[in-house]
Amino acid sequence: MRLFKKVAVYTISRKTLGKAFNVACRSRLSRMFIKPYIRLYKIDRKEIRHPSAYKSLTDFFVRDIDPGLRPIANGRNIIVSPVDGTIADLGFAQGKKIILAKKNFYSLAELLAFPNVDSLQDCYYMNIYLSPRNYHRIHMPFPAQVIHHQYVPGQVFPVNKLGVSTVKDLFAKNRRTCTIFETKGGAKFALIKVGALGVGKIISSYHVGEKIPKGREIGRFEFGSTVILIFQKDLFKPSKFLTVNQQIKMGQKIGSFLE
DSSP 232-251: -GGGEEE-TT--TT-EE-TT
Euclidean distance between CA atoms 167 and 158, whole angstroms? 9
Instruction: Over range 102-128, report the average pLDDT.
Output: 83
Alpha carbon of 238 to those of 72, 74, 122, 242: distances in Å?
Answer: 17, 16, 14, 8
Euclidean distance between CA atoms 259 and 218, whole angstroms? 26
pLDDT digit string, tens, across residues 14-56: 556 667 777 888 899 999 999 999 999 999 999 998 888 999 9
Euclidean distance between CA atoms 107 and 44, whole angstroms? 38
pLDDT of residue 199: 57
Instruction: Over range 201-225, report the average pLDDT.
Output: 92
Alpha carbon of 98 to those of 106, 114, 169, 252: distances in Å?
Answer: 5, 15, 12, 24
Q: Please give the share of the chain, as a percent, with pLDDT higher than 90.
A: 58
Active-site entry in 56, 84, 149, 256: 84
Q: Which of 14-23, 113-122, 161-170, 229-238 shows the lowest per-residue confidence on average (mean pLDDT)?
A: 14-23
Q: How confident is the model at residue 6 (pLDDT cuts 50, 70, 90)?
A: very low
Active-site entry in 13, 30, 81, 225: 225
> Is 139 annotated as catalytic?
yes
Dihedral angle computed from the Cα positions of residues 82, 24, 18 and 157, in that order, rounded to the nearest 10 degrees: 50
pLDDT of residue 125: 93
> Is 84 annotated as catalytic?
yes
**DSSP 3-state of 35:** helix
**Interior angle at CA 78, CA 208 and CA 228, nearest 5:** 55
CATH architecture, domain defined by 72-257: Distorted Sandwich (2.70)
Q: How confident is the model at residue 4 (pLDDT cuts 50, 70, 90)?
A: very low
Domain limits, CATH 2.70.70, in the chain: 72-257
pLDDT of residue 15: 59
Active-site entry in 56, 139, 149, 256: 139
pLDDT of residue 18: 63
Backbone angles phi, psi at 212, to 5 degrees: -120, 130
> Is 225 annotated as catalytic?
yes
pLDDT of 239 strictly over 60: yes
Instruction: Over range 61-80, report the average pLDDT.
Output: 94
Euclidean distance between CA atoms 203 and 13, whole angstroms? 20
Q: Which of 14-18, 202-206, 227-231 shows the lowest per-residue confidence on average (mean pLDDT)?
A: 14-18
Q: Which of 4-8, 52-56, 121-125 shows the lowest per-residue confidence on average (mean pLDDT)?
A: 4-8
**Interior angle at CA 247, CA 46 and CA 150, nearest 5:** 100
pLDDT digit string, tens, across residues 147-196: 999 999 888 887 777 777 778 888 888 889 999 999 999 999 999 999 88
